[in-house]
Chain A
Amino acid sequence: MAKVKNSKRAVYRELPKAATGIQGLDEITGGGLPLGRPTLVCGSAGCGKTLMAIEFLVRGAIDYGEPGVFMVFEETAQELAQNVQSLGFDLDQLIREKKLTIDFVRVERNEIEETGDYDLEGLFVRLNHAIDSIGAKRVALDTIETLFSGLSNEGILRAELRRLFRWLKDKGVTAIVTGERGEGRLTRHGLEEYVSDCVILLDHRVVEEVSTRRLRVVKYRGSVHGTNEYPFLIDENGISILPITSMGLQHKVSNERVPTGVSRLDAMLGGEGYYRGSTVLVSGTAGSGKTSLAAHFVNAACGRGERCLYFAFEESPQQIVRNMKSIGLDLERWIKKGLLRFHATRSTVYGLEMHLVTAHKVIREFQPHVVVLDPIGNLTMAGTVDDTTSMLTRLMDYLKSQKITAVWTSLTSGDATETTDVRISSLVDTWLLLRDIELGGERNRAMYVLKSRGMAHSNQIREFLLTEHGIELTDVYLGPEGVLTGSARQSQEAKETAEALAHEQEIAARRRELDRKRLALEARIAAMRMEFEAEEEESKRMIGEEQARSDKVRQDRERMAASRHADAKQISNKVRAK
């Protein structure tokens, strides 16, 4: 056997697989069920075996072009139709298109008498006929164990079942065989003995009044597979299974930035806002404005034409819309435009796994750019803190892989503001902390960026105001007494303004004084100048007079000399020069 396995592996490296098309199952099994081999799906009543079988066939017929045969042992046609009606599978259409054949096998013990030797060739004939009539590649037998209640010769049945599974392999069809969960073993009649390639166990469990369906691949010969229990959900789109850790940390990151909706906050985050695809945690005490901050981001994103998905665990959508209206955010228009969708559930409605599966499902459907979870702490009501942490980590991984920006709000208790209830703070990329500052008989909101990976961010505390036109961030007063907010800040600011005014007035007074002095000085200078000018005038006049007098003396002297005829020519020249 081991030899066969090895040689197969050498050829294919991995077993060839048939994709089921069931959301998540192919991921867990690394590509699907073993191709051309039967797979046992077992579980207790109502855990979704039949549904998984049907979906396997329907997806195969529609998505992979592989017709299927459904052999039903337990239900009647009406019951089956009712069961799948809610799933939106149109079996009749598939039957008309020859993509599906359903054979209802009814074995009623009270109609049957057994005498002597027999075999199940009739079943083989029917199955063979059904497979050949539409060229089926897939077969589901639901639930073949019913034969054990219809026919009493267990020895014959066991031998025939063994032959049936071998025959299915030889036929090369990929088959799902369902089996009822038995006491202490996988199936009531030990079908797992015959189907050795792949066994999937479905489970429907109620833990702390919360019911969750889970799936586990018990074995998958020749293939690696996820070994965990995976939660799954049955809804109008069929089964969706959530792989617990479907990804590592290899997701691509974006350098694109998205504004936060609060311009001052953008400025605090390096001027551009969050990274696209990052996870933002807004934590704070009660009533500190977490939802408002998240709503701003939503509003801004919708304004850019992006889709937002808002998971509300505490408030109803109407309530959030109304409350946001009071701070000037009209979220209703985005809802009407189809850009914003609320998904409001009480966290206690179902278990964490279900929350996660639901979240995945809604996200897949809506393809949002932004996802808000408000508040995450509430989820701990649906499970333990550890479970919540693991669930949120998985959700975060998923959102990151989809490049969805996530805003999570978290309520923190008064003292431990820098620890969150669910201990995810080390995982988030940007952490905004809102807190109340109690001072001077009032509570005021303050905000700071506790961390923001990969960007320069402000280390300043800002006062966080909720106004009629949204959130405003203002600088807080940092004084010798510490941070002042609210009216304390205002009074401090008023005081400062008054002081500044007084100071200004003083300066003005000094300036006027100076002006006055200057004027006085100038006046004195002018007076002195006038005095000087008067003196100068007087002096000039006196000089002129003196000049005139001395000229006169000289002339007189010259005249006298001339009259004496001494050096007549020379002197006359000198006079002319003057």
Chain B
Amino acid sequence: MNIQTKPQDNIDYEEKWELRLYTAGQTPKSLSAFANLKRLCEEHLKGRYTIEVVDLTRNPQLAAGDQIVAIPTLVRKLPEPLRRIVGDLRDTERTLVGLQLRPAKSDNQ
């Protein structure tokens, strides 16, 4: 999977990014996750991303659809394939790897 997607990531800069952040209420973790995500997107995906925040306390039925277990979870809907990143996204490096904006250093083969 990674072998196929790597060149794509390097080539395509016009791709639309559709991101969805699942939270459950206004918890510190959710807030910091959103802040971290916002910062990261501005830096790497400026102008070609959308972030949708889904609060599961209001829409619990949406949790099953994206297989949400942990909160907060960031789901990369587009570009495919679907990726999930859990946590407050404080580790920028890992988040970028998770979003496949940057190849993982050693554990990717």
Which A residues are within 8 Å of any B CB, using their own CB? 103-107, 111-126, 128-129, 147, 150-151
CA distance A107 to B84 in the complex (A): 10
- B68 engages A116 (CB within 8 Å): no
CA distance A364 to B68 in the complex (A): 46
- B71 engages A121 (CB within 8 Å): yes
Q: Is B41's CB within 8 Å of the partner chain A?
A: no
Q: Is B3's CB within 8 Å of the partner chain A?
A: no
A106's nearest neighbour on chain B, judged by CB, is B67
A-chain residues with CB within 8 Å of residue B71 when the two chains form the complex = 118-122, 125
- B67 engages A117 (CB within 8 Å): no
Residues A116 and B69 in contact in the complex (CB < 8 Å), given A103-B64, A121-B24:
no
- B67 engages A113 (CB within 8 Å): no
CA distance A122 to B22 in the complex (A): 8
Residues A126 and B60 in contact in the complex (CB < 8 Å), given A106-B67, A118-B71, A119-B70:
yes
Cβ 8 A contact of A129, one of B22, B60, B72, B89? B60
The listed residue with most B CB atoms (<10 A of its CB), out of A118, A128, A129, A147, is A118
Q: Is B94's CB within 8 Å of the partner chain A?
A: yes
Within 8 A of A (CB), among B30-62: 33, 56-57, 60-61
The 7 closest A-B pairs by CB, nearest first: A113-B98, A129-B60, A116-B90, A121-B71, A122-B68, A116-B87, A116-B88
A sample of 13 cross-chain residue pairs with beta-carbon separation below 8 angstroms, ordered by A number, consists of: A103-B64, A111-B84, A112-B84, A113-B83, A114-B86, A115-B94, A115-B98, A120-B69, A122-B68, A122-B70, A125-B63, A126-B64, A129-B60
Q: A-B pairs with CB below 8 Å: how many?
A: 98
A-chain residues with CB within 8 Å of residue B29 when the two chains form the complex = 117-119
A-chain residues with CB within 8 Å of residue B97 when the two chains form the complex = 113
CA distance A126 to B69 in the complex (A): 8
- B89 engages A125 (CB within 8 Å): no
CA distance A122 to B29 in the complex (A): 13
Cβ of A532 to closest chain B Cβ, rounded Å: 139
Q: Is B14's CB within 8 Å of the partner chain A?
A: no
A-chain residues with CB within 8 Å of residue B63 when the two chains form the complex = 122, 125-126, 129
A-chain residues with CB within 8 Å of residue B90 when the two chains form the complex = 115-117
Cβ of A417 to closest chain B Cβ, rounded Å: 70
CA distance A572 to B102 in the complex (A): 193
B89's nearest neighbour on chain A, judged by CB, is A115
Interface size on B, residues (CB 8 A): 32
- A122 engages B24 (CB within 8 Å): yes
Residues A113 and B60 in contact in the complex (CB < 8 Å), given A118-B88, A119-B29, A122-B73:
no
- B67 engages A105 (CB within 8 Å): yes
B-chain residues with CB within 8 Å of residue A104 when the two chains form the complex = 64
A-chain residues with CB within 8 Å of residue B84 when the two chains form the complex = 111-113
Which B residues are within 8 Å of any A CB, using their own CB? 22, 24, 27, 29, 33, 56-57, 60-61, 63-64, 67-73, 82-91, 94-95, 97-98
CA distance A119 to B87 in the complex (A): 8
B-chain residues with CB within 8 Å of residue A116 when the two chains form the complex = 33, 87-91
- B87 engages A117 (CB within 8 Å): yes
A126's nearest neighbour on chain B, judged by CB, is B63
Cβ of A563 to closest chain B Cβ, rounded Å: 177
CA distance A474 to B50 in the complex (A): 101
B-chain residues with CB within 8 Å of residue A117 when the two chains form the complex = 29, 87-88, 90
Cβ of A75 to closest chain B Cβ, rounded Å: 14
- A114 engages B94 (CB within 8 Å): yes
B-chain residues with CB within 8 Å of residue A107 when the two chains form the complex = 67, 69
B-chain residues with CB within 8 Å of residue A113 when the two chains form the complex = 83-86, 94-95, 97-98
The listed residue with most A CB atoms (<10 A of its CB), out of B63, B64, B73, is B63
A-chain residues with CB within 8 Å of residue B56 when the two chains form the complex = 121-122, 125
CA distance A116 to B85 in the complex (A): 10
Residues A147 and B69 in contact in the complex (CB < 8 Å), given A122-B63, A128-B60:
yes
Cβ of A513 to closest chain B Cβ, rounded Å: 118
CA distance A116 to B56 in the complex (A): 20
A156's nearest neighbour on chain B, judged by CB, is B70
B-chain residues with CB within 8 Å of residue A122 when the two chains form the complex = 22, 24, 56, 63, 68-71, 73
B-chain residues with CB within 8 Å of residue A114 when the two chains form the complex = 85-87, 94
Cβ of A162 to closest chain B Cβ, rounded Å: 16
Residues A115 and B85 in contact in the complex (CB < 8 Å), given A105-B69, A122-B24:
yes
CA distance A123 to B60 in the complex (A): 10
CA distance A122 to B33 in the complex (A): 15
Cβ 8 A contact of B61, one of A121, A124, A129? A129
- A111 engages B24 (CB within 8 Å): no
CA distance A363 to B95 in the complex (A): 63
The listed residue with most A CB atoms (<10 A of its CB), out of B24, B33, B68, B86, is B86
CA distance A122 to B61 in the complex (A): 11
- B86 engages A118 (CB within 8 Å): yes
The listed residue with most B CB atoms (<10 A of its CB), out of A111, A112, A116, A147, is A116
New contact pairs (18) apart from A112-B86, A122-B56, A126-B69, CB-CB < 8 Å? A105-B67, A112-B85, A113-B83, A113-B85, A113-B95, A113-B97, A115-B94, A116-B88, A117-B29, A118-B29, A118-B70, A118-B87, A122-B68, A123-B69, A124-B24, A126-B64, A147-B69, A151-B86
Cβ of A37 to closest chain B Cβ, rounded Å: 23
CA distance A123 to B82 in the complex (A): 20
Cβ of B4 to closest chain A Cβ, rounded Å: 14
